Every structure is written in C-alpha cells, then in structure tokens.
Structure 1
Amino acid sequence: MPDSGSLLVSELFYSIQGESTRAGLPCAFVRLCVCNLRCSYCDSRYTWEEEGRVMSIEQVCTWLEDFPGALVEITGGEPLLQEAVYPLLQKLIAGGQEALLETGGSLSIERVPVEVGIILDIKSPDSGMMDRNHWPNIALLEQRQKAGSRDEIKFVLCSPADVAWAVDIVRQYKLTELVPVLFSPVIDRLSPAILADLILQEQLPIKLQLQLHTRIWPDAHRGV
C-alpha cells in the first residue's frame, strides 16, 4: 500500500453519474484499488485483481483540474483502506469541489469530513458479506446529518429474500428518517419489476435505483 501522500489508483474517468441521488450528473471518478470484501455480484473485480498505478494526491488533483466545478466521486475497491484518501478529500473540499465517497460499509466513516457526501453500502445476505457490515456507521450518519452532511444508504439486492431483509433493516434503524435510501437490483438475479412491486408493497419512501451508465453504455464494463 502506498504512503499517506500517494494513492493506488485503478482508473480515472469522466462520465455520467450512474448511481446515487446524483444520478445523471457529469462526474469525475477516482476509482481506487484494493478491497477487503468479495461480494458475490462484484462488477469491479479488477480493482483488486490488477495492480493499478501509484499516484500522488497532487497528480490526482491535477487530473481533476480538467473538470472544474464537476462532481467528484472517490470509489473503489474500498477507498477507506487507503490513508491518503483523507488528505485528498480535504484538498477537494478546500478547492470548493462537491465530493462523494462510496464505501462498502465495512469500515468506520468517522474520519470522513462532513462536507463529503457518503454513499454507504449495507451488504445483504446474498452478497456473502453481510457479517462485515459496520453497524456503528448508522449512528455516525445521524451525527453527520445534524452537521449538514448529504449522505445516503444503498442496498444492492439479489432476491426477494434480500429485499425482505433490507426492509427489516430500514424499519429497525428508521433509515428513511435519517438519509435517502436506495434499493438497487443485481439485474441478472432480481428483475427491476419484481423489486418495484416489493417496494410498493412496503409503502416506504425508498428509491428504486437502476445503474444509468449500464443503460447508456451497455457494452462498456469499466471507465463509465
């Protein structure tokens, strides 16, 4: 792993934000290598199967200068595994850029600046990683909301049983009263129509999310 001034980068790309409540917006993506999870449906295995390249924080920020004012998302892999992600986020904030951080939810978000919007995954049973969820993050989200942060929670779901489990979690922790909650289907395992029906049955303010970038560029598997 690089030192605290460098990042192990999988890819840098400028695209349309395909997920989250900011879906549809132009976004500069910094995808980092390395992940501590092995989700059954992972669509970015290359972030931990390939070596990537070491870049300084300054090099990443220089690349971002080509997209002034753009939304910036730091994703992975699991970005919180890399110590340099924190000074990178601070630099983005200082430069006035709107920054997002997508995390798999297995590590504490305590050190993420409140100015950064967190997209927090909660792993379902069918992901194979449910036991890795770091549940104290929910209390941290509540603290961040009081400080004005714009965070959200995402469930990637594989089956009706997954959906039922996710609904129980939403109700147990009153998540829809805390942050926007999104349910996203693994397309080859759970049809959007079935997920839509299940959401409607529950009568909860949950947003159905489909990966917009996969609809725009169905044959592209990275860099979008």
Structure 2
Amino acid sequence: MSSLRITEIFHSLQGESNTVGLPTVFIRLTGCPLRCVYCDTAYAFTGGTKTEIDAIIDQVDQYATRYVTVTGGEPLAQPSCLELMTRLLDKGYVVSLETSGALDVSAVDPRVSKVMDLKTPSSGELSRNRYQNIDYLTPRDQVKFVIGSDEDYEWSKAILAEHDLPNRCEILFSPTMGQQNPTELAEKILRDRLPVRFQIQLHKILWDDARGK
C-alpha cells in the first residue's frame, strides 16, 4: 500500500496562484532538498507522519471542497506524490502542485495545475533551477517568481524574455514578505508593462504566519 510522509492536512483559503481566495484542502508533504532564505515552512523539512494514500484521501473528502493543493516542503521529493495526485484527479478534484522547480516535473499528471517556482538570486538557491522543466509547462500551469530585490526583478524579467514564458503559461510575481515593498513591485510591473499577475500572500494578511492556515 502506497504511503507518504505528511506534515499536515488542513482546510483554508488559497492564498496564492490563480485560485486565490477559494476554499482549498492543503496536503503538506514532509521534506525538501532546498533551503531558500525566505522559506516559511521550515517545520516541514523533517518529521511528519507516514500515512497511506487511502487515509489521506479520506481526510480530504471530509472537507467537501473541489480544490486540493499538494505542497511542502517539496512534494516531488516523495515519488508516491504522483500517485496521490492522479487518484485525487480521478475522484474529480481540481488539483494543484506547488513545486520548487528543482525536481523533474515530466511525470506529473497533465491534469494537474503546476505552480512552479523559478528561484531568484536572493533565494540562495538560484543554482537549483531545473530549466528543462519549462518544456513541460502548459497553459494550465503557473510559474512563480518571489521578488526580494531589484536584482531579482531584473533577473526575472530576463528569464521571462529568454524562455518566452508568458506564451507558455501564467506568470506570478510575488514580493518577499518583509523584504520587498509590495507597492514598489506593483509600480515596476505597471511601468514595464509586464504580462504577469501580481500577488500578495492572502493567508499571511488574514492569519499572519499561523501554521495550518
């Protein structure tokens, strides 16, 4: 029986991506090979509870919502994550995957909406970007840039152009909380007429850094 190491399963409003504000069940998997400077889920690096996929789906069913986000940590660090997402899709859930972009996404069920980071210079993990993943992006997917500095912004603009990302999928620009002034980032996006979605993490506005929110 397939199982995964789970840090938490909780019901909240989606705080990011193109389903922001929608009631969503979050499945947070344990473990991540990256150590981004701005990480706000370091508690998911270790520990967790080994849980069979059947039991995970039973918990999700209790919340009676269409939307499920598989997050971490880095979900793809556990291979059985692929089976979990496919089984959720087969039950009719709308499934999104939050992934660092450092691991191969080619085997992810094409029905999943991938929300994939490209790590900016200030993340401390720029070298971990797996640019081959861009070839597997579709219009249902999203690429997220977490912007913490002018260097991050200019780097992100260059990557957009180099890989023609706006014509592949939706692009998200998000300010690093406490580091990048959100208004300044919004004004840069407008000034440069970038075809991106500006987003602020809704859950942090509503619940600060409360775990399980």
Task: Tell whether the structures are fold-level matches, with TM greater than 0.5.
Answer: yes
Query: 2:60 maps to which residue?
Result: 64
Match of 1:120 among 116, 139, 150: 116
Is the 8 Å Cα contact of residues 24 and 65 (structure 2) preserved in structure 1?
no
CA offset digits 1:132-172 (Å, max 9, x no partner): 0000111111xx44xxxx11110111111111100110111
Question: What is the RMSD of the two structures over their aligned residues, measured on CA atoms?
Answer: 1.1
Cα distance in structure 2, aligned partners of 1:18 and 1:90: 23
Cα distance in structure 2, aligned partners of 1:69 and 1:18: 16
Count of matched residue pairs: 213
Give the unaligned 5+ runs of structure 2: none
Query: 1:221 maps to which residue?
Result: 210
Match of 1:199 among 164, 174, 189: 189
Cα distance in structure 1, aligned partners of 2:36 and 2:64: 34
Query: 1:34 maps to which residue?
Result: 31
Cα distance in structure 2, aligned partners of 1:182 and 1:151: 11
Q: 5 Å matches for 1:153-168? A: 153-168=143-158
Q: Aligned-pair distance for 1:221?
A: 2.7
Cα distance in structure 1, aligned partners of 2:73 and 2:89: 22
2:27 maps to amino acid:
V
Is the 8 Å Cα contact of residues 14 and 26 (structure 1) preserved in structure 2?
yes
Is the partner of 1:119 in helix, strand or coil? strand
1:101 maps to amino acid:
L
Is the 8 Å Cα contact of residues 9 and 55 (structure 1) preserved in structure 2?
yes
Cα distance in structure 1, aligned partners of 2:178 and 2:11: 27
Query: 2:166 maps to which residue?
Result: 176
Query: 2:199 maps to which residue?
Result: 209
CA offset digits 1:8-30 (Å, max 9, x no partner): 10111000000001100000000
Report the TM-score, using the length of structure 1 for normalisation.
Answer: 0.92
Is the partner of 1:21 in helix, strand or coil? helix
1:23 maps to amino acid:
V
CA offset digits 1:31-90 (Å, max 9, x no partner): 001001000000000011x41111000010000111234200000000001011111111
Is the 8 Å Cα contact of residues 160 and 195 (structure 1) preserved in structure 2?
no
Q: Does 1:22 align with 2:38?
A: no
Is the 8 Å Cα contact of residues 30 and 72 (structure 1) preserved in structure 2?
yes
% identical aligned pairs: 38
Is the partner of 1:83 in helix, strand or coil? coil
Cα distance in structure 2, aligned partners of 1:167 and 1:52: 37
Cα distance in structure 2, aligned partners of 1:203 and 1:65: 42
Is the partner of 1:15 in helix, strand or coil? strand
Give the unaligned 5+ runs of structure 1: none
Runs of 4+ in 1 over 6 A off after TM superposition: none
Report the TM-score, using the length of structure 2 for normalisation.
Answer: 0.97
CA offset digits 1:86-139 (Å, max 9, x no partner): 111111111011101110000110000111100000000110101100001111
Match of 1:104 among 100, 109, 112: 100
Cα distance in structure 1, aligned partners of 2:122 and 2:205: 24
